[in-house]
């Protein structure tokens, strides 16, 4: 298996430090994109996926905390490391609360940064379902195209939203198996609280509405446990 070099998004408004660090990262084999402000970083993130983000906190346009939140909304798994001069306990806590994975304070040693980068890349590689997930599914008499967000049930084409499609794909990949609520929520919502649970119920309700024309398919509730797609 060819080892693709990891893509890192690095945001730092001190350009001197920024260039030095970027050089160092590239020297160590990381494909590094360097941005000088939060807005540019978010644009870069929207364009292409990254394997890891290193963010300064004090940034022009959009601060690092806001940026981290925006990144988390789009990708709940990508590791985020703060790298900042703000050493206060409160700042650290705030940083972690945005969904960050690590918080380093300046001045820092490049070796330590490399070590910490390595920790998270290693851990996310374990998960790496980077292998392309299937896009076409046939369930009962339904045709579901994940990439095109379409679900054909009894000749009728339905357009799904991204989240509806993600949930349906999760069911399709695990049909006829009991899926626990918290597993579903961890996988698709990234966390598990009361309101996310209710949100899941709403989505299940919508999927059932699409599927009700096909009597050979149903999403069954397992009380107190989760759901099962019967097909």
Partner DNA sequence: TAAACCCATTAACATATCATTAACAATCAT
Partner DNA sequence: ATGATTGTTAATGATATGTTAATGGGTTTA
According to the binding rule CB under 8 A, does residue 102 interact with a copy of itself? yes
Beta-ladder partners of 159: 150
Alpha-carbon gap, residue 152 to 171, rounded angstroms: 16
Q: Which does 126 bind (CB under 5 to 8 A by kind): DNA, a copy of itself, none?
A: a copy of itself
Q: From the CB of 211, what's the least distance to DNA, in Å? A: 10
Alpha-carbon gap, residue 37 to 59, rounded angstroms: 6
Q: Which does 93 bind (CB under 5 to 8 A by kind): DNA, a copy of itself, none?
A: a copy of itself
Q: How many C-alpha atoms does 53 have within 13 Å on its Cβ side? A: 32
Tokens of 8: 């890192």
According to the binding rule CB under 8 A, does residue 5 interact with a copy of itself? no
Listed residue (87, 14, 80) closest to 42, CA to CA: 80
Q: From the CB of 8, what's the least distance to a copy of itself, in Å? A: 18
Q: Smaller CB distance to DNA: residue 67 or 196?
A: 196
According to the binding rule CB under 8 A, does residue 3 interact with a copy of itself? yes
Q: From the CB of 229, what's the least distance to a copy of itself, in Å? A: 12
Q: Smaller CB distance to DNA: residue 157 or 208?
A: 208
Name residue, tokens 């490391």.
81
Are 106 and 86 in contact by the 8 Å Cβ rule? The answer is no
Q: Smaller CB distance to DNA: residue 88 or 202?
A: 202
Q: Which does 189 bind (CB under 5 to 8 A by kind): DNA, a copy of itself, none?
A: DNA
Q: Which does 221 bind (CB under 5 to 8 A by kind): a copy of itself, DNA, none?
A: DNA
By CB under 7 A, name the binding residues for DNA: 1, 161-164, 181, 189, 195-199, 201-206, 208-209, 221-226
Which x/- pattern over 79-98 shows residues binding a copy of itself (rule: CB under 8 A)? ----------x--xx--xx-
Of all residues in the chain, what percent are helix, strand and coil, respectively (each to 5)? Answer: 45, 25, 35
Alpha-carbon gap, residue 16 to 228, rounded angstroms: 55
* 3-class DSSP assignment, residue 218: strand
How remote is the C-alpha of 18 from its chain's centroid? 26
Residues 111-130 that bind a copy of itself (CB under 8 A): 111-112, 115-116, 118-119, 122-127, 129-130
The single residue among 47, 109, 194, 202 that binds a copy of itself, judged by CB under 8 A, is 109
Alpha-carbon gap, residue 129 to 127, rounded angstroms: 6
């Amino acid at each position: 298996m060819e080892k693709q070099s990891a893509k890192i998004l690095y945001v730092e408004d001190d350009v001197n430090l920024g260039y030095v660090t970027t050089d160092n990262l590239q020297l160590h084999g990381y494909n590094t994109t360097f941005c000088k402000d939060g807005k540019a970083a978010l644009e870069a993130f929207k364009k292409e996926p990254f394997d890891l983000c290193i963010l300064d906190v004090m940034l022009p346009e959009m601060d690092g905390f806001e940026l981290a939140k925006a990144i988390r909304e789009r990708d709940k798994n990508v590791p985020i490391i703060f790298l900042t001069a703000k050493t206060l306990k409160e700042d650290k806590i705030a940083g972690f609360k945005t969904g960050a994975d690590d918080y380093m304070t300046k001045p820092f040693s490049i070796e330590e940064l490399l070590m910490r980068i390595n920790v998270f890349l290693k851990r996310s590689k374990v998960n790496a379902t980077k292998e392309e997930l299937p896009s076409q599914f046939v369930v009962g008499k339904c045709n579901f195209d994940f990439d095109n967000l379409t679900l054909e049930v009894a000749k009728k084409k339905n357009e799904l939203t991204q989240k509806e499609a993600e949930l349906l794909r999760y069911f399709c990949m695990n049909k006829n198996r009991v899926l626990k609520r918290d597993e579903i929520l961890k996988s698709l919502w990234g966390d598990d609280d009361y309101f996310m649970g209710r949100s899941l119920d709403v989505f299940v309700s919508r999927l059932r509405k699409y599927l009700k024309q096909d009597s050979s398919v149903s999403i069954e509730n397992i009380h107190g446990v989760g759901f099962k797609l019967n097909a």
